[in-house]
């Protein structure tokens, strides 16, 4: 299945992306709103989708929305707020059964209309959002922010990035912060909503089966008097490291978590980036990786240990779960294994195993209608016009020299360690 996306400009800063496929029994429509990742608006951005999903002018409460979804053959609606590099992304998605499977191709217009209404026609009172909806969702968002610490591994990764990029926008937590919630009310949030609708770059994705009538219907959006659309610049890539950070945090945990944050200085546009992807996988991509074999199996030091690349900021993060007393020894072995790769001490089999793993993961995108939408959206953000097949070919063509050259640029920036002093003593 060769996937292609047709991108059509349908308005000022609004693009419709069409991916035609009849592989799935469902169709998917997503609206992506792009905002700058900034402290001034991050909390309002995170709160906004939670309030919007509460009701529309026609369906003013969540119960009516859920009833509508059920009546439309169990359509599924989801929202999310996350960061892609230093861009804050608000996503509104609805997935519903392909009309061919139920003998009703027209019902999907109702589903599309519902998502449009969620985005463009929210329930309002006296020119602002409903006060009780905003207050309830502020409390829900507060609990989500407070609950981030419950997933200790994700929290450790976030904290490493926050410390590593403390003077960069990438350090900003995408769900905002609790202190800002106190200053947001229904009028302030509604004013911000109007700004988001008028000034955000918007990418609309439709994945599945469609005809010209459906395309035309999606194109028909409300007139929102869009003026100057925000320009969202490419993230700055920092390559040099002047001083290394060592950050430890004392928490009520029974297992230590460490994260090593590395600067690579290799932007995703660079042809060497593919060598970095393969090199990171050889280092810590799975059970055949150097870290798994040497840290977990040989020395029995880690419960888990992986290496991942953060594409938009060109960072490499190595994270693991360990006994507190094994911290220094584990860090030393990680550094040794990176040096081994930099010196070319890995085999052709290591390369092939990693390539197969990366390619398998890439090909699995074709098996998920949601991942297809996310993939093409990511391609838009990075202005990458390669097809999935071309990306796979690029991975296949990576040489040992490219891996060594890429990994030789990796420089340790920050070490984060989550510990528990009470259990260490």
Domain ranges in the chain are: 6-219, 245-424
What pLDDT is recorded for position 227? Answer: 85
In tens, the pLDDT along 142-190 reads 999 999 999 999 999 999 999 999 999 999 999 999 999 999 999 999 9
What pLDDT is recorded for position 393? Answer: 96
Instruction: Judge whether residue 104 has pLDDT over 70.
Output: no
CATH architecture of 245-424: 2-Layer Sandwich (3.30)
What pLDDT is recorded for position 167? Answer: 92
What pLDDT is recorded for position 346? Answer: 97
In tens, the pLDDT along 309-350 reads 999 999 999 999 999 999 999 999 999 999 999 999 999 999
In tens, the pLDDT along 218-249 reads 999 988 788 899 999 999 998 877 678 999 99
Residue with tokens 């403390």: 166
What pLDDT is recorded for position 412? Answer: 96
Please tell me the CATH superfamily of domain 6-219, with its number. Metalloenzyme, LuxS/M16 peptidase-like (3.30.830.10)
The whole-number average pLDDT for the span 123-137 is 96
Q: How confident is the model at residue 425 (pLDDT cuts 50, 70, 90)?
A: low
Give the list of residues 6+ apart from residue 337 with CB closer than 8 angstroms, or none: 283, 290, 291, 294, 295
Do residues 134 and 189 make contact, with C-beta atoms less than 8 angstroms apart? yes
In tens, the pLDDT along 371-381 reads 999 999 999 99
SS3 breakdown of the chain: % helix, strand, coil, rounded to 5?
Answer: 45, 20, 30
What pLDDT is recorded for position 313? Answer: 96
Distance CA 342, CA 406 (A): 8
Intra-chain end-to-end CA distance of the chain, in Å:
58
| pTM listed for this prediction | 0.94
Buried b or exposed e, range 389-404, using 16+ CB within 10 angstroms:
eebbeebeebebebbb
Tokens of residue 67, six digits: 């009833």
Instruction: Judge whether residue 101 has pLDDT over 60.
Output: yes
Buried b or exposed e, range 7-31, using 16+ CB within 10 angstroms:
eeeeeebbbbbbbebeebebbbbbb
What pLDDT is recorded for position 424? Answer: 64
Of the chain, the percentage scoring pLDDT greater than 90 comes to 90
What pLDDT is recorded for position 421? Answer: 85
Distance CA 153, CA 155 (A): 5
Q: Which residue has the higher pLDDT, 173 or 98?
A: 173
What is the overall mean pLDDT for the chain?
94
What pLDDT is recorded for position 18? Answer: 97
The whole-number average pLDDT for the span 374-402 is 96
């Amino acid at each position: 299945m060769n996937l292609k996306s047709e991108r059509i400009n349908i308005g000022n800063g609004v693009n419709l992306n069409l991916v035609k496929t009849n592989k799935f029994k469902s169709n998917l429509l997503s609206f992506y709103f792009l905002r700058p990742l900034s402290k001034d608006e991050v909390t309002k951005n995170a709160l906004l989708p939670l309030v919007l999903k509460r009701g529309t002018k026609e369906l003013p409460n969540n119960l009516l929305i859920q009833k509508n979804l059920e009546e439309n053959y169990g359509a599924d609606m989801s929202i999310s707020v996350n960061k892609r590099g230093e861009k804050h992304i608000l996503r509104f998605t609805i997935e519903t059964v392909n009309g061919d499977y139920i003998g009703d191709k027209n019902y999907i217009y109702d589903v599309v209309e519902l998502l449009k209404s969620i985005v463009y026609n929210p329930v309002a009172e006296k020119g602002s959002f409903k006060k009780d909806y905003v207050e309830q969702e502020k409390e829900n968002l507060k609990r989500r922010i407070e609950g981030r610490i419950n997933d200790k591994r994700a929290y450790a990764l976030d904290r490493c990035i926050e410390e590593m990029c403390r003077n960069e926008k990438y350090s900003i937590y995408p769900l905002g912060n609790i202190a800002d919630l106190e200053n947001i009310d229904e009028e302030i949030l509604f004013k911000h909503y109007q700004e988001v609708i008028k000034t955000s770059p918007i990418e609309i994705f439709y994945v599945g089966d469609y005809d010209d009538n459906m395309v035309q219907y999606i194109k028909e959006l409300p007139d929102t008097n869009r003026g100057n659309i925000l320009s969202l610049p490419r993230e700055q890539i920092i390559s040099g490291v002047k001083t290394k950070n060592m950050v430890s945090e004392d928490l009520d945990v029974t297992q230590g978590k460490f994260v090593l944050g590395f600067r690579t200085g290799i932007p995703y546009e660079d042809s060497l980036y593919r060598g970095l992807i393969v090199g990171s996988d050889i280092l810590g991509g799975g059970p055949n990786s150097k870290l798994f074999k040497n840290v977990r199996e040989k020395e029995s030091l880690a419960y888990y240990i992986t290496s991942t690349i953060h594409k938009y900021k060109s960072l490499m993060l190595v994270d693991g779960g360990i006994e507190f007393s094994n911290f220094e020894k584990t860090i030393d072995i990680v550094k040794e294994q990176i040096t081994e790769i930099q010196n070319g001490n890995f085999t052709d089999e290591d390369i092939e195993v990693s390539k197969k793993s990366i390619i398998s993961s890439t090909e699995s995108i074709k098996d998920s209608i949601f991942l297809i939408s996310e993939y093409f959206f990511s391609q838009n953000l990075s202005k990458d016009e390669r097809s999935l097949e071309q990306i796979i070919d690029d991975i296949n063509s990576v040489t040992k020299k490219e891996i060594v050259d890429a990994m030789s640029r990796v420089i340790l920036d920050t070490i984060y360690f989550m510990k528990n002093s009470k259990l260490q003593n």
